[in-house]
Structure 1
């Protein structure tokens, strides 16, 4: 499809209404990395900067795909989710960019938009790679924020907006959802890669073996869903600021920690996790490996601008999935890739 991104003239009325008729647009830069919404840095003629989030079809690179019906991480995008999740994180004392304005009525553009605080471009990932000493304080602060999140319990699992409306289905156990999700990712990826097709039954058996070891539990904490150091900005004052929050849900905290272990690598112990079920964690870690094969292969079939990175990510995880299924051993908490840009999910 031909994509038409936001241009300075498109936000002229927005700027006039939000900042005054005497303010002009000096620059509007689309930030790279995200794949479900547009993220733009808006600079005014007085050097003020804010971030514009734009939820529009032309900003979403993900093609439709089969999903598990009660998977709370499906279709985790949109202004409603952003608003509800932003409020929940604020209530939990988790720093996010301050919400300046939210328009879901098409008052400025033919799409939902939000204006949020510009906290800068420095990620915790960049600090961990280039200046580990400077990362120590924000990492410690993030650890405290995560503990507050993961001990903020919900009555049911699901997206926060659905839980608040009483619409979160509770027909199955969470580990059943994740096992089905993993098998769905496997089937889709096997259709694209002969190595996975050849090993399909072996991998599926490994998923079922991991699932069988998990015992029932009903305790759901507040989880980000895909929190890596690329989803944490660090202000000049050293504050960690969590972004890409639309995937927030009440779910098993092991899902979050499976992702944290994978993405933070050697820095993960500094996050001081809450008590975790090791069997649930093993299943969720392997399920995420399969997700990081299927998702990247699907988006690589589109016009996503960083296609090769997606293919490399899929290859990394194909190797991992095959190695683990053949050995039948657990999954080491190694990072997804040595140099990871902003998540392709945000």
Structure 2
């Protein structure tokens, strides 16, 4: 598809109404890294900066794919999810960007949009690489926030918006959802890669083995869904701010820590105490970790077939995780 991104003239009315008719847009930058929504930094003539989220088809690089119907992490994008999850994280005392304005009526653009405070451009990931000592305080604050999230419980698993609408029913065990998700990702990737096709039965057997070790449980807490140091900004005051939280759901906390373990990599064991984990089931954690590795083959290979601007990065990510999946079998 031909993608057309925002230009300065497109946000003239938005700037005038939100900041006054005397305000002028000095700069408009589309920020890199987003693949489901457009993220723009607006700089006004008085040097004020704000962030604009745009949920539009032309901003979403992801092609459709078969999904597990009750997987709460499927299609985790959109203004409804954002505003519902923003309210829940605010109530839980988690640092997130302040919401300035939400428009779902097309007043300014032919898309749902949100205007947010600008928490800056420094990601926790970059701060850790540059100065691990300086990252200690933000990590500790992040750990406190995670503890609050992981002790905020819901009656069912699922997206918060679906639960609010009464559409989330607890019909299956969460580990069975993740097994179906993992096997679906395996089928999709085995059709594209001969190594995975050859190992398909062994990989599937390993997934079922991991599932067989998991004990039943029905306790669901708030989880970000794909939290890592790239989804945490650090403000000039040193405060961590979570972003990209449309995937927030009530689910097993092991899903969160499987993702944290993957994203923090070799640093995770040393950082784990600072992240203040609740009691974790190691068997559930291992199943979810392996399922996420499979997802990080399927997703990157799928988006690499589109016009996503950093295609090679996605292919490299898929290759890295193919190695990890095969190493287990």
Q: TM-score, normalised by structure 2?
A: 0.98
Deviations 1:297-343 (A, max 9, x none): 00001000010000000000000000012xxxxxxxxxxxxxxxxxx
Task: Extract structure 1 runs of 4+ deviating beyond 2 A.
Answer: none
Aligned to 1:78: 78
> Structure 1 residue 272: deviation in Å?
2.3
Aligned to 1:143: 143
- Aligned residue runs from structure 1 range 291-330, under 5 A: 291-325=295-329
Q: Give the 3-state SS of the residue equivalent to 2:133 in structure 1.
A: helix
> Structure 1 residue 165: deviation in Å?
1.3
Distance (whole Å) between structure 1 residues aligned to residue 321 and residue 137 of structure 2: 31
Q: Give the 3-state SS of the residue equivalent to 2:233 in structure 1.
A: strand
Aligned to 1:182: 182
Q: Give the 3-state SS of the residue equivalent to 1:226 in structure 2.
A: coil
RMSD of aligned Cα (Å): 0.6
Deviations 1:265-300 (A, max 9, x none): 314322121100111001000000000000000000
Q: Give the 3-state SS of the residue equivalent to 1:96 in structure 2.
A: coil
Deviations 1:96-136 (A, max 9, x none): 00000000000000000000000110000001111101100
- Aligned residue runs from structure 1 range 4-15, under 5 A: 4-15=4-15
User: Which of these residues, 275, 283, 289, is aligned with residue 287 of structure 2?
Assistant: 283
> Structure 1 residue 171: deviation in Å?
1.3
Distance (whole Å) between structure 2 residues aligned to residue 69 and residue 262 of structure 1: 25
Distance (whole Å) between structure 2 residues aligned to residue 122 and residue 30 of structure 1: 16
Distance (whole Å) between structure 1 residues aligned to residue 99 and residue 306 of structure 2: 32
Structure 1 residue ranges without an equivalent (≥5): 326-346
- Aligned residue runs from structure 1 range 1-346, under 5 A: 1-265=1-265, 266-267=267-268, 268-269=271-272, 270-325=274-329
> Structure 1 residue 264: deviation in Å?
1.4
Distance (whole Å) between structure 2 residues aligned to residue 130 and residue 204 of structure 1: 40
Deviations 1:129-173 (A, max 9, x none): 111011000000000000000000011000001111110032111
Distance (whole Å) between structure 1 residues aligned to residue 169 and residue 221 of structure 2: 16
Distance (whole Å) between structure 2 residues aligned to residue 144 and residue 197 of structure 1: 43
Q: TM-score, normalised by structure 1?
A: 0.93
Q: How many residues align?
A: 325
Distance (whole Å) between structure 2 residues aligned to residue 260 and residue 37 of structure 1: 23
